[in-house]
Amino acid sequence: MTTARENIVILTGAGISAESGIATFRDKDGVWSKFKLEDYATPEAFERDPVKVQTFYNERRAGMKDKQPKAAHEALARLEKEHSGEVLLVTQNIDDLHDRAGSENLVHMHGELLKAWCTHCDNRSAWLYNIEADSVCASCGQKGSLRPDVVWFGEMPYQMDRIFDALDRADIFISIGTSGAVYPAAGFVDAANQAGAATMELNLEPSDGSYLFDEVAHGPATEIVPNWVEGFLTES
């Protein structure tokens, strides 16, 4: 009996962008070791102190300018182009490194740092610079209604129906560079296992949920992701 390899769902997290110089969240020098998440990544924090939260995101947006996609991002874009079946790439990352590497069937489930969301007219638009208290929405002209288009704790991640539909049909599910500490993404491996998919973790080290995967490979994303993609495409 041959194992189905048609439909692939890939989940990525901060670890895939770590070698591009973007900090992860929960590693020793991660974002949450320097900033208390309750003060920056909740709607309540934004309501309490919008300037503090906008400054945090403005600095991270400015810091992304010189960051480049690496071999792992490029390998996933190659997989999408060369695999005859479906590849859905779901990223928790708010950077644009998968986009710039060329991935197209891509969901930014936690939003995008380079977009602003107008809470007045609900428009989302590309935003490369600082969001200030007097920034004006390009769509409705409202002043002071823009926030980063990112998903904070307690908010619903984007395109969940599309993701769970793909997980229901998945033959292969791969989790790359994520600690698996944040739901609903942390539950995708259970959904994939229930759908009968082969599941694999590619991470620097075993995550707390490593035991949930059929296979694991550990090491830097720039090595283990291109290796896996090369092997998969060669066997196809």
Q: Please give the positions annotated as active site.
A: 110
Q: Tell me which of 15, 69, 209, 226 binds ligand BJW, using CB under 6 A.
A: 15
Judged by CB under 6 A, the chain residues 109 through 168 that form the site for ligand BJW are: 110, 150-151, 153-157, 160
How would DSSP label each residue in 165-197? HHHHT-SEEEEES--S-STTGGGHHHHHHHTT-
Residue 28's CB is within 10 A of a number of other CB atoms, namely 6
Q: Binding string to ligand BJW for residues 80 to 99, with x set by CB under 6 A, is what?
A: ------------x-x-----
27 or 39: CB nearest ligand BJW: 27
Residue in 134, 152, 130 with CA at minimum distance from that of residue 144: 134
Q: Find the largest Cα–Cα distance for the chain.
A: 63
Least distance (Å) between residue 24 CB and ligand BJW = 3
Least distance (Å) between residue 222 CB and ligand BJW = 7
Provide the 8-state DSSP code for 146.
E
The answer for residues whose C-beta is within 8 angstroms of residue 117's C-beta and 6 or more apart is 111, 123, 124, 146, 147, 148, 149
Binding segment for ligand BJW among 78-86, 119-127, 172-180, 191-199 (CB under 6 A)? 172-180
73 or 110: CB nearest ligand BJW: 110
Rounded Cα gap, residues 236 and 225, in angstroms:
17
Residues at the site binding ligand BJW, with contacts judged by CB under 6 A = 13-15, 18-19, 24-27, 30, 41, 92, 94, 110, 150-151, 153-157, 160, 177-179, 181-184, 203-205, 207, 220-221
